[in-house]
Chains A and B, each alone.
Chain A
Protein backbone atom coordinates (compact mmCIF):
# COMPACT_ATOMS: atom_id res chain seq x y z
CA UNK A 1 0.00 0.00 0.00
CA UNK A 2 0.86 3.67 0.15
CA UNK A 3 2.26 5.56 3.12
CA UNK A 4 0.38 8.71 4.09
CA UNK A 5 1.03 11.10 6.94
CA UNK A 6 -1.12 13.81 8.45
CA UNK A 7 -0.24 16.72 10.65
CA UNK A 8 -1.27 17.53 13.25
CA UNK A 9 -2.71 14.35 14.72
CA UNK A 10 -4.95 16.38 16.97
CA UNK A 11 -5.75 20.04 17.46
CA UNK A 12 -7.86 22.04 19.86
CA UNK A 13 -8.82 25.56 18.88
CA UNK A 14 -11.18 28.33 19.85
CA UNK A 15 -14.33 29.05 17.91
CA UNK A 16 -13.72 31.45 15.06
CA UNK A 17 -10.12 30.49 14.38
CA UNK A 18 -8.80 28.71 11.30
CA UNK A 19 -7.03 25.39 11.35
CA UNK A 20 -4.79 23.91 8.67
CA UNK A 21 -4.35 20.15 8.29
CA UNK A 22 -1.60 18.72 6.11
CA UNK A 23 -1.71 15.43 4.25
CA UNK A 24 1.50 14.06 2.74
CA UNK A 25 2.01 11.14 0.41
CA UNK A 26 5.39 9.77 1.47
CA UNK A 27 6.19 7.13 -1.10
CA UNK A 28 4.61 8.16 -4.37
CA UNK A 29 3.38 11.20 -6.25
CA UNK A 30 -0.34 11.66 -5.75
CA UNK A 31 -2.22 13.65 -8.36
CA UNK A 32 -5.42 12.95 -6.46
CA UNK A 33 -6.09 12.95 -2.74
CA UNK A 34 -9.37 12.70 -0.90
CA UNK A 35 -10.56 14.40 2.27
CA UNK A 36 -13.08 12.70 4.54
CA UNK A 37 -14.82 13.68 7.72
CA UNK A 38 -16.06 11.24 10.33
CA UNK A 39 -18.32 12.09 13.24
CA UNK A 40 -18.51 9.75 16.26
CA UNK A 41 -20.27 6.47 15.56
CA UNK A 42 -20.71 7.41 11.90
CA UNK A 43 -19.04 6.31 8.71
CA UNK A 44 -16.65 8.25 6.55
CA UNK A 45 -18.16 11.01 4.49
CA UNK A 46 -16.24 12.25 1.48
CA UNK A 47 -15.82 16.00 1.63
CA UNK A 48 -13.79 16.71 -1.47
CA UNK A 49 -11.39 15.43 -4.07
CA UNK A 50 -8.10 17.30 -4.10
CA UNK A 51 -6.49 17.61 -7.52
CA UNK A 52 -2.86 18.61 -7.91
CA UNK A 53 -2.55 21.93 -9.68
CA UNK A 54 -6.26 22.58 -9.99
CA UNK A 55 -9.31 23.34 -7.91
CA UNK A 56 -10.73 20.75 -5.57
CA UNK A 57 -14.03 19.08 -6.32
CA UNK A 58 -16.41 19.35 -3.38
CA UNK A 59 -19.24 16.97 -2.53
CA UNK A 60 -22.76 18.25 -2.34
CA UNK A 61 -23.40 20.08 0.90
CA UNK A 62 -19.76 20.82 1.69
CA UNK A 63 -18.98 24.55 1.81
CA UNK A 64 -15.96 25.20 -0.36
CA UNK A 65 -15.36 28.61 1.22
CA UNK A 66 -15.24 27.08 4.67
CA UNK A 67 -13.10 24.06 3.84
CA UNK A 68 -10.26 25.35 1.71
CA UNK A 69 -8.20 22.72 -0.08
CA UNK A 70 -4.83 23.35 -1.68
CA UNK A 71 -2.98 20.61 -3.54
CA UNK A 72 0.10 22.54 -4.53
CA UNK A 73 2.45 19.61 -5.07
CA UNK A 74 2.28 15.92 -5.86
CA UNK A 75 3.01 15.01 -2.25
CA UNK A 76 1.08 17.57 -0.23
CA UNK A 77 -2.55 18.55 0.13
CA UNK A 78 -3.83 20.87 2.83
CA UNK A 79 -7.29 21.33 4.28
CA UNK A 80 -8.00 24.60 6.06
CA UNK A 81 -11.09 24.81 8.21
CA UNK A 82 -11.87 28.51 8.25
CA UNK A 83 -13.72 30.20 11.12
CA UNK A 84 -14.14 26.89 12.87
CA UNK A 85 -17.15 26.30 15.09
CA UNK A 86 -17.95 23.51 17.57
CA UNK A 87 -20.01 21.69 14.94
CA UNK A 88 -16.82 21.33 12.86
CA UNK A 89 -15.32 19.16 15.59
CA UNK A 90 -14.67 15.85 13.89
CA UNK A 91 -12.08 13.34 12.72
CA UNK A 92 -10.60 14.49 9.41
CA UNK A 93 -8.88 11.84 7.30
CA UNK A 94 -7.12 12.12 3.97
CA UNK A 95 -6.46 9.33 1.53
CA UNK A 96 -4.47 8.74 -1.61
CA UNK A 97 -5.18 6.65 -4.65
CA UNK A 98 -1.94 5.19 -5.99
CA UNK A 99 -3.50 2.83 -8.49
CA UNK A 100 -2.05 -0.13 -6.62
CA UNK A 101 -3.89 -2.98 -4.93
CA UNK A 102 -6.65 -2.74 -7.48
CA UNK A 103 -7.73 0.83 -7.10
CA UNK A 104 -7.87 0.88 -3.32
CA UNK A 105 -7.40 4.07 -1.36
CA UNK A 106 -4.92 4.30 1.47
CA UNK A 107 -5.55 6.52 4.43
CA UNK A 108 -3.57 8.85 6.58
CA UNK A 109 -3.77 8.45 10.36
CA UNK A 110 -6.35 11.23 10.69
CA UNK A 111 -6.57 14.53 12.54
CA UNK A 112 -8.87 14.97 15.51
CA UNK A 113 -10.22 18.53 15.56
CA UNK A 114 -11.93 19.89 18.65
CA UNK A 115 -13.38 23.39 18.48
CA UNK A 116 -14.21 24.94 21.83
Chain B
Protein backbone atom coordinates (compact mmCIF):
# COMPACT_ATOMS: atom_id res chain seq x y z
CA UNK B 1 0.00 0.00 0.00
CA UNK B 2 1.34 3.37 -1.00
CA UNK B 3 1.95 5.55 2.05
CA UNK B 4 2.96 9.04 3.01
CA UNK B 5 4.27 9.48 6.52
CA UNK B 6 4.82 12.55 8.65
CA UNK B 7 5.61 13.24 12.26
CA UNK B 8 2.22 14.19 13.66
CA UNK B 9 3.71 16.54 16.22
CA UNK B 10 2.76 18.84 17.73
CA UNK B 11 5.85 20.74 16.69
CA UNK B 12 6.31 23.85 18.80
CA UNK B 13 8.71 26.61 17.81
CA UNK B 14 9.17 30.14 19.12
CA UNK B 15 8.20 33.06 16.95
CA UNK B 16 10.97 33.96 14.54
CA UNK B 17 12.56 30.51 14.59
CA UNK B 18 12.87 28.00 11.75
CA UNK B 19 10.33 25.19 11.67
CA UNK B 20 11.37 21.98 9.93
CA UNK B 21 8.77 19.47 8.77
CA UNK B 22 9.59 16.08 7.30
CA UNK B 23 7.76 13.65 5.07
CA UNK B 24 8.62 10.25 3.63
CA UNK B 25 6.80 8.35 0.92
CA UNK B 26 6.79 4.75 -0.19
CA UNK B 27 6.13 4.87 -3.95
CA UNK B 28 9.39 5.30 -5.86
CA UNK B 29 7.64 6.34 -9.08
CA UNK B 30 6.02 9.42 -7.54
CA UNK B 31 7.09 12.59 -9.32
CA UNK B 32 5.02 15.42 -7.81
CA UNK B 33 5.16 16.56 -4.22
CA UNK B 34 3.08 19.15 -2.45
CA UNK B 35 2.79 20.90 0.86
CA UNK B 36 -0.62 22.11 1.96
CA UNK B 37 -1.64 24.04 5.05
CA UNK B 38 -4.88 23.37 6.86
CA UNK B 39 -6.23 25.61 9.59
CA UNK B 40 -8.64 24.12 12.07
CA UNK B 41 -12.07 23.69 10.52
CA UNK B 42 -10.90 24.79 7.09
CA UNK B 43 -9.91 23.05 3.89
CA UNK B 44 -6.28 22.70 2.73
CA UNK B 45 -4.48 25.51 0.94
CA UNK B 46 -1.47 24.94 -1.29
CA UNK B 47 1.82 26.18 0.14
CA UNK B 48 4.09 24.98 -2.62
CA UNK B 49 4.95 22.15 -4.95
CA UNK B 50 8.27 20.54 -5.89
CA UNK B 51 9.23 18.07 -8.62
CA UNK B 52 13.03 18.05 -8.91
CA UNK B 53 15.65 17.00 -6.43
CA UNK B 54 17.08 19.85 -4.41
CA UNK B 55 15.66 22.97 -2.87
CA UNK B 56 12.86 25.24 -3.98
CA UNK B 57 12.31 28.54 -2.22
CA UNK B 58 9.17 30.64 -2.09
CA UNK B 59 9.26 33.50 0.37
CA UNK B 60 9.70 32.14 3.88
CA UNK B 61 9.19 28.58 2.68
CA UNK B 62 11.78 26.17 1.30
CA UNK B 63 10.86 22.71 0.09
CA UNK B 64 13.57 20.09 -0.20
CA UNK B 65 13.26 16.90 -2.22
CA UNK B 66 15.46 13.81 -2.25
CA UNK B 67 13.94 11.15 -4.47
CA UNK B 68 16.69 8.62 -3.77
CA UNK B 69 15.83 8.75 -0.08
CA UNK B 70 12.10 9.21 -0.80
CA UNK B 71 12.09 12.22 1.44
CA UNK B 72 10.61 15.69 1.17
CA UNK B 73 10.78 18.44 3.75
CA UNK B 74 9.50 21.93 4.36
CA UNK B 75 11.45 24.65 6.13
CA UNK B 76 9.60 27.69 7.40
CA UNK B 77 11.83 30.65 8.23
CA UNK B 78 10.86 33.45 10.60
CA UNK B 79 7.92 31.45 11.90
CA UNK B 80 4.86 33.52 12.78
CA UNK B 81 1.89 32.73 15.02
CA UNK B 82 -0.19 32.70 11.84
CA UNK B 83 1.80 29.62 10.78
CA UNK B 84 0.11 27.67 13.57
CA UNK B 85 -1.81 25.04 11.60
CA UNK B 86 -1.49 21.50 10.31
CA UNK B 87 0.83 21.16 7.34
CA UNK B 88 0.06 18.25 5.04
CA UNK B 89 2.49 16.52 2.75
CA UNK B 90 0.94 15.13 -0.45
CA UNK B 91 2.47 12.90 -3.10
CA UNK B 92 1.06 11.98 -6.48
CA UNK B 93 -0.14 8.40 -6.56
CA UNK B 94 2.30 6.46 -8.68
CA UNK B 95 1.98 7.31 -12.34
CA UNK B 96 -1.23 9.22 -11.79
CA UNK B 97 -0.78 12.85 -12.74
CA UNK B 98 -3.73 14.17 -10.78
CA UNK B 99 -4.50 11.81 -7.91
CA UNK B 100 -2.53 12.40 -4.72
CA UNK B 101 -2.08 10.70 -1.37
CA UNK B 102 -1.98 12.81 1.76
CA UNK B 103 0.10 12.26 4.83
CA UNK B 104 -1.42 12.56 8.29
CA UNK B 105 -0.12 16.10 8.72
CA UNK B 106 2.17 17.78 11.23
CA UNK B 107 0.59 20.11 13.73
CA UNK B 108 2.71 23.24 14.04
CA UNK B 109 2.41 25.66 16.92
CA UNK B 110 4.34 28.93 16.84
CA UNK B 111 4.67 30.43 20.29
CA UNK B 112 4.69 34.26 20.45
Instruction: Report A's interface with B, CB cutoff 8 A.
Output: 1, 32, 34, 42-46, 49, 93, 97, 101-110, 112
Contact = CB atoms under 8 A, between A and B. Distances in A.
Contacts of A105: 34, 46, 98, 100
Give the dominant DSSP class at B's interface. loop
Interface stretch (B14-22, B68-76, B77-85, B102-110): B102-110
B88 A44 contact: yes
Contacts of A97: 98
A101 B46 contact: yes
Contacts of A102: 32, 49, 51
Contacts of A45: 102
A93 B43 contact: yes
A101 B49 contact: yes
A95 B98 CA distance: 11
B92 interface: yes
B99 A44 contact: no
Give 10 closest A-B pairs by Cβ, nearest first: A107-B43, A97-B98, A110-B43, A102-B49, A43-B104, A44-B102, A43-B102, A93-B43, A103-B32, A104-B46
B102 A103 contact: no
Contacts of B57: none
Given A43-B88, A43-B103, A102-B32, A107 B45 contact: yes
A34 B99 CA distance: 8
A112 B43 CA distance: 11
A11 to B, nearest CB: 15
A1 B46 contact: yes
Contacts of B49: 101-104
Contacts of B101: 46
B52 to A, nearest CB: 11
A108 B45 CA distance: 9
